């Protein structure tokens, strides 16, 4: 018996093939009994304007094979999956799509962001199954007004609790570990504030350059693509107050509360050579891992007039009693030679050192790494040849590996009707409000667009 139909719009695209379908397969590989119940009777329908019907089943089978998913659940999905050629912005094309639906409906928008509101307007006029869930990818709008309008458009289709605004970073091991570890660890819990912590950095650099995605990226840039969405969510899980429960209501209230008091840094300059809370840069030609990358501005589809940044760094403050005075630095860049991707929590030096030394030799740094997921603590310790002499020590551990991918977590929430790890509508708007003053300053030309060679660590004078 079919219980749910998952309709993937934009199934011919990169997200569906590379992340969504393997994510679904990962629930077969690593999911527990409740995950297998979610997959029981699941019908997966792919759709797009292009004719992919002949290859669809192979695409699904390939994604499952790639992640090692096999067995009855996989066979059942492969036996019922269909592809329907349709334009989701055309009301007429929805007839054959809805003919495929059995049971409850999940509509997954794996579509370019500009199309989402058009599809929402079409859905509003359709007779959808009573239990319909919408899953919408980031970026959610392109400013606070468009995000508000998109909230309203989706809200006319289904109630808020059935709208999953996807941010797969909330399903990332490092983000989940941050939440779980912080609140269940006496040592951390008691020192998780501005008295003990001096600065927090959330960094997600990558080696990849544009990879042919100019159509989307050249109008977005690093700040909109990574910081406004993913890294603000990571800030929220790092800085939020303890929710009473890890459920949709309480966790999302905590995340919303901390983001509601987050804004661009106004304290003493955080970045050398600039007074403002942001800096931006764009890569020029260079080599990453033996591969030559052209100057970003000369890539196919790029309009240099857009002045799109491929590296963004911003400093934020969280205006509450726990975090007042602590800068939260968010950074993400493309074409970085030795990329870091981690949350770094820098502790303050101790107030007094009996060894007569001063400075930060004793300051601890706690790191939550994204790739591979790990926790590492750097501190100073005695015990070497000389009595009382301090040596840097590092303890680290790889986080328990889960076969369920980040997109597996997303799909678990969507199929399980549990929006805990998705973005609430007011938060989607607030995330634009947080970065808007920075975008405005860039638009006014107040922050220079620096350059760095691909393969370097960023502009030479940034460090
Ligand atoms: P693509 O650009 O690959 O587009 C997906 C599909 O959308 C296309 O294959 C196309 O299918 C359909 N489409 C394109 N234009 C239109 C249109 N005008 N009207 C109707 N359908 C259209 O996107 P991705 O798969 O890369 O991403 C999908 C979403 O997921 C985006 O919101 C993106 O930001 C987000 N995302 C993507 C990630 C990734 O790594 N790819 C990672 C995280 C989020 P057809 O031509 O067959 O209709």
The shares of helix, strand and coil residues in the chain, as percent rounded to the nearest 5, are 40, 20, 40
Beta bridge partners of 47: 9, 84
Quick one: pLDDT at residue 354? Answer: 76
Q: How far, rounded to the nearest angstrom, does the alpha carbon of residue 208 sit from its chain's CA centroid? A: 17
DSSP calls for 21-40: HHHHHHHHHH--HHHHHHHT
* Whether residue 117 has its Cβ less than 6 Å from ligand 1: no
Q: What is the pLDDT of residues 197-216, one digit of tens each?
A: 999 999 999 999 999 889 88
- Going by pLDDT thresholds of 50, 70 and 90, the confidence category of residue 380 is confident
User: Which of the 8 DSSP states describes residue 242?
Assistant: P
Residue 15 scores a pLDDT above 70:
yes
Residue with tokens 């990329």: 339
Greater confidence, 354 or 194?
A: 194
Question: 149-171: per-residue pLDDT in tens?
Answer: 999 999 999 999 999 999 999 99
Query: What pLDDT is attached to residue 359?
Result: 58
Q: Mean pLDDT across the stretch 8-13? A: 96
Average pLDDT over the chain, rounded to whole? 94
- 230 catalytic? Reply is yes
Q: What is the pLDDT of residues 227-242, one digit of tens each?
A: 999 999 999 999 999 9
Looking at the chain, the whole-number percentage of residues with pLDDT higher than 90 is 87
Confidence (pLDDT) at 295? 97
The SS3 of residue 84 is: strand
Write down the catalytic residue from 168, 172, 230, 346. 230
**Predicted pLDDT of residue 273:** 85
Condensed to tens digits (0 to 9), the pLDDT of residues 413-424 reads 999 999 999 999
Q: Which CATH superfamily is domain 4-137 in?
A: NAD(P)-binding Rossmann-like Domain (3.40.50.720)
pLDDT band at 351 (very low <50, low <70, confident <90, very high): confident
Is it true that 4-137 and 170-453 share their CATH fold? no
Concatenating the DSSP letter of every residue in 338-381 gives: S--EEEEEEEPPPS--TTS--SGGG--EEEEETTTTEEEEEEEE
Structure tokens, 281: 């840069």
48 CB near ligand 1 (under 6 Å): yes
Look at residue 1 and tell me whether its pLDDT is greater than 60.
no
pLDDT at 2 (0 to 100): 58
Name the residue ranges covered by the structural domains of the chain. Answer: 4-137, 170-453
Q: Give yes or no for residue 50 CB within 6 A of ligand 1.
A: yes
User: Is residue 323 very low, low, confident or very high in pLDDT (cuts 50, 70, 90)?
Assistant: very high
CA 99 / ligand 1 centre spacing (Å): 23
Q: What confidence score (pLDDT) does residue 361 get?
A: 59
> How confident is the model over 397-413, as pLDDT tens digits?
998 888 999 999 999 99
Confirm or reject: Cβ of 10 under 6 Å from ligand 1. Answer: yes
Q: Place domain 170-453 in its CATH homologous superfamily.
A: Dihydrodipicolinate Reductase; domain 2 (3.30.360.10)
**Stated pTM of the model:** 0.95
CA 253 – CA 243 distance, rounded (Å): 8
Q: 394: part of which helix (H) or strand (E)? A: strand 391-398
């Amino acid at each position: 018996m079919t219980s749910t139909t998952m309709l993937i719009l934009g199934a011919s695209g990169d997200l569906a093939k590379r992340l969504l379908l393997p994510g679904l397969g990962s629930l077969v590989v690593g999911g527990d009994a409740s995950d297998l119940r979610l997959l029981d009777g699941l019908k997966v329908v792919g759709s797009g304007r292009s004719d992919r019907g002949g290859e669809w089943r192979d695409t699904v089978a390939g994604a499952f094979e790639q992640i090692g998913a096999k067995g009855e659940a996989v066979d059942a999905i492969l036996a019922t999956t269909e592809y329907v050629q349709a334009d989701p912005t055309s009301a007429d094309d929805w007839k054959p799509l809805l003919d495929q639906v059995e049971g409850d409906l999940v509509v997954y928008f794996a579509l370019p962001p500009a199309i989402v509101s058009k599809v929402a307007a079409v859905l509003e006029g359709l007779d959808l199954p009573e239990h319909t869930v919408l899953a919408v990818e980031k970026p959610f709008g392109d400013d606070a007004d468009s995000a508000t309008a998109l909230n309203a458009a989706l809200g006319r289709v289904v109630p808020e609790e059935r709208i999953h605004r996807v941010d797969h970073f909330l399903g990332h091991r490092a983000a989940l570990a941050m939440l779980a570890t912080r609140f269940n660890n006496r040592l951390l819990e008691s020192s998780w504030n501005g008295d003990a912590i001096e600065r927090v950095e959330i960094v997600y650099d990558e080696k990849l350059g544009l990879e042919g995605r100019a159509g989307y990226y050249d109008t977005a840039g690093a700040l909109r693509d990574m910081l406004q969405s993913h890294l603000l969510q990571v800030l929220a899980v790092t800085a939020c107050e303890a929710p009473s429960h890890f459920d949709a209501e309480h966790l999302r209230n905590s995340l919303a509360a901390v983001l509601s008091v987050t804004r661009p840094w106004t304290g003493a300059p955080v970045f050398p050579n600039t007074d403002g809370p942001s800096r931006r840069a764009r890569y020029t030609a260079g080599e990453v891992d033996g591969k030559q990358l052209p100057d970003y501005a000369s890539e196919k589809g790029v309009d240099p007039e857009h002045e799109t940044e491929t590296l963004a760094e911003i400093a934020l403050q969280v205006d509450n009693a726990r975090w007042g005075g602590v800068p939260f630095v968010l950074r993400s860049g493309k074409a970085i030679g030795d990329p870091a991707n981690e949350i770094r929590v820098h502790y303050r030096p101790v107030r007094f050192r009996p060894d007569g030394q001063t400075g930060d030799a004793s300051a601890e740094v706690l790191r939550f790494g994204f790739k591979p997921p790990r926790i590492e603590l750097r501190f100073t310790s005695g015990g070497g040849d000389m009595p009382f002499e301090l040596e840097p020590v590092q303890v680290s551990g790889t986080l328990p590996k889960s076969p369920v991918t980040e997109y597996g977590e997303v799909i678990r929430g969507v199929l399980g009707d549990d929006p805990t790890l998705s973005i609430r509508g007011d938060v989607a708007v607030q995330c634009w409000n947080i970065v808007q003053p920075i975008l405005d300053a860039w638009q006014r030309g107040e922050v220079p667009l620096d350059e760095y060679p691909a393969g370097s660590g960023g502009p030479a004078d940034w460090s």
